[in-house]
């Protein structure tokens, strides 16, 4: 049985914004199923506006498609935030990557990422 995927922002950005070879691969990966969280949605909006200058209407449409295909994004809670800080400190990840890892672990999708003694 294959575990469900927890998507990083890059997959969502490539699936909805960029028009290159990776775009089709990213869209295919999203279509296979998986989970996003609110932070990934926020980072997508930031990249879409700042880097790619998408309109708010296009961003809302992309987020609606993402919610329709992947369901509501998982929340970013205070507990996930605290776990992300601990992961960043212990494993030397940047905070935002550590928060995504913590959210994946919280969703039950990252159990093999760390030994049992580490979050």
Question: What digits encode the pLDDT tens for the residues 40-65?
Answer: 999 999 999 998 899 999 999 999 99
* pLDDT tens figures, 25-42: 998 988 888 899 999 999
> Any alpha helices (H) in the chain, and if so which ranges?
9-16, 21-31, 38-50, 56-70, 78-91, 95-106
Rounded distance between C-alpha atoms, residue 40 and residue 20, angstroms: 21
Rounded distance between C-alpha atoms, residue 118 and residue 101, angstroms: 12
Q: What value does the mean pLDDT take over residues 56-80?
A: 93
pTM for the complete prediction? Answer: 0.82
């Amino acid at each position: 049985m294959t575990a469900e995927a927890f998507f990083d922002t890059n997959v969502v950005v490539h699936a909805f914004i960029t028009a290159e070879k990776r775009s089709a691969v990213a869209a295919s990966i999203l279509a296979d199923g998986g989970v996003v969280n609110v932070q990934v949605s926020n980072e997508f909006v930031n990249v879409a506006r700042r880097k790619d200058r998408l309109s708010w209407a296009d961003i809302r449409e992309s987020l609606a498609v993402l919610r329709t295909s992947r369901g509501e994004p998982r929340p970013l809670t205070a507990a996930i935030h605290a776990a992300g800080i601990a992961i960043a400190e212990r494993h030397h990840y940047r905070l935002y990557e550590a928060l995504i890892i913590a959210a994946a672990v919280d969703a039950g999708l990252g159990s093999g990422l760390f030994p049992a003694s580490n979050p």
